[in-house]
Amino acid sequence: MHIKFFGAAGEVTGSRHLLEGQTQGQHFKFVIDYGMFQGGRDANDKNLEDLPFNPAELDFVILTHAHIDHSGLLPRLTAQGFKGTIYCTPATEALLKILLLDSAHIQENDFERAERKQKLGKWRGELPTVLYSVKQATECLSQIKHYDYGQVFEPINGIQAHFRNAGHILGSAIAVIDVLEDGQSKRIVSSGDLGMYDRPLMPNPDVIESADVLLVESTYGDRLHRGLQETEDELVEVITETMKHGGNIVMPAFAVGRTQEILLLLINLVKNGRLPHLNIWVDSPMATAATHLTEKYLEDLDEEAQAIFAWYKKHSHSLDLKFVADVEESKALNRIKGGAIIISASGMCEAGRVVHHLSWNLPHSQNAIIITGFQAMGTLGRRLVDKVPMVRVMGKEVAVRASIHTIGGLSAHADQAGLLRWLKGFKKAPGKVFVIHGEENAAANFAAVIKEELQWEHVVTPQKGNLFPC
């Protein structure tokens, strides 16, 4: 059996890992995740590149969670001929119905808008690429089959798998795959994206005790997040100061997971008297849908999150929370001169309604931008984090006069300490450890820490295209 890395190796996005070998006298080939590359000038080229195998040859896909950097190219895979089953958890399937259709809709709209401009002589360069259509995304959804956490399934004879809770977002999973090889069972474990410990919204990641081959993420493998108390203190300070000076706050946030955690934190801060009555607008149709879905899967959240949601239902007058529906209502937010908290997608500021709010709010010093999650290299969000004085938004140069605040404690990814805590759950060192889903420095740093602190020997940081026996 061998594994080949087609993405999220030496970088954060584009998770795609191919496993191939023999079981029960038959050849198998499957992938763990099939995500879209995001950020950077070459992301589009990577998303368009042909794979060195026929997608029709794949037996199945194991999907750890719904985020686009893990799921976003699935419709392209099925359109290219993959006819097998995509396995995931029930909540992940529900989220995919929102995320994949939204992704396709955005691609089609961007192309149509650019095409209209081209006909008017107002578009320069190549037209945006449509990786897949809404129709193709809809057809892809028909190939999904879901299983609850802990429920064992058999994709093909000789391979069994089950999901454990990764504590990252709703439905996120650690994939545990047992392959019968030469009469012996070999266990492959993929961490997916691991959540933070002892935080509101999601439960702690499940402990996994054994693996022969381990794929572990390293998004924040080179740093520590602030503690929850420090995070809340900073959030209170930024909101209080901005409101005192009559400004607005724009919070770019991933529609799934991050938006719901931010809402939970703000509601709890109002509940505890640390913040006054707030005026909050959630301006993202996807985030709105994901929030309603979160309420449907309340039992998947931790007990504290359930209690905060219950309090809000009884005290909804304590803050003014509005979910923005149409485009005109979204545009109207830019006429608000102060006192607004606008939570909007996309989380890396690359597309969606948040770019309009940034365009309006960045030039004014009384406003604040709160960055709440990881910003990949090459994204507008990363440039804001790097405190550049001017940014290009929707084709225009915009001065950055608003204050920029990066609150790392709001991340849905475990930091270095959290990742190590999860690894310490293994009773013995896995035979091989592949450190993935991290920029080169983060992955290399975390691999070194694993070797030093855990005394694990076979730790590798693969690059895109690398092939390893396993």
Please report, for the domain that includes residue 320, its CATH number: 3.40.50.10890
Residue written as token pair 């005026």: 279
Q: Do residue 444 and residue 378 come from a single domain?
A: no
In the chain, % helix, strand, coil (3-state, to 5) comes to 35, 25, 40
Per-residue pLDDT reduced to its tens digit, 291-313: 999 988 988 888 999 999 999 99
What percent of the chain has pLDDT above 70?
100
pLDDT at 395: 79
Tell me what the mean pLDDT of segment 153-182 comes to.
97
- In terms of DSSP bridges, do strands 368-371 and 249-252 run parallel, antiparallel, or are they unpaired? parallel
CA angle 175, 193, 284 (to 5 degrees): 120
Q: How far apart are the first and last CA of the chain?
A: 6
| N residues, the chain | 470
Tell me what the mean pLDDT of segment 377-392 comes to.
92
Question: Which residue, of 366, 390, 410, is where some domain finishes?
Answer: 410
pLDDT category of residue 469 using cuts at 50, 70 and 90:
very high
**Quick check: pTM over 0.75?**
yes
pLDDT at 389: 95
pLDDT at 173: 98
Q: Do residue 188 and residue 262 come from a single domain?
A: no
Q: Do residue 449 and residue 402 come from a single domain?
A: no
pLDDT at 299: 87
Per-residue pLDDT reduced to its tens digit, 316-362: 999 999 999 889 999 999 999 999 999 998 888 888 899 999 999 99
Question: Which phi-psi region, left, alpha or beta, contains residue 167 (left: φ > 0; alpha: ψ -120 to 50)?
Answer: left
Nearest-10 Cα torsion for 156, 162, 167, 169? 40
pLDDT category of residue 377 using cuts at 50, 70 and 90:
confident
Q: Do residue 290 and residue 238 come from a single domain?
A: yes
CATH number assigned to the domain comprising residue 445: 3.60.15.10
Q: Do residue 333 and residue 345 come from a single domain?
A: yes
Structural domain harbouring 81: 2-223+413-469
Per-residue pLDDT reduced to its tens digit, 101-117: 989 998 998 899 889 98
Q: Do residue 324 and residue 355 come from a single domain?
A: yes
Question: Which residue, of 359, 379, 410, is where some domain finishes?
Answer: 410
| Whether 202 contacts 121, CB under 8 Å | no
For residue 408, is pLDDT > 80?
Answer: no
What percent of the chain has pLDDT above 90?
80
pLDDT at 295: 87
271 is written with which tokens?
């509940």
Question: Which residue, of 410, 437, 458, is where some domain finishes?
Answer: 410
Q: Do residue 355 and residue 456 come from a single domain?
A: no
Q: Do residue 258 and residue 185 come from a single domain?
A: no
CA distance 346 to 354: 6
Give me the number of domains the chain comprises: 2
Q: Do residue 272 and residue 406 come from a single domain?
A: yes
Q: Do residue 210 and residue 239 come from a single domain?
A: no
Q: Do residue 178 and residue 247 come from a single domain?
A: no
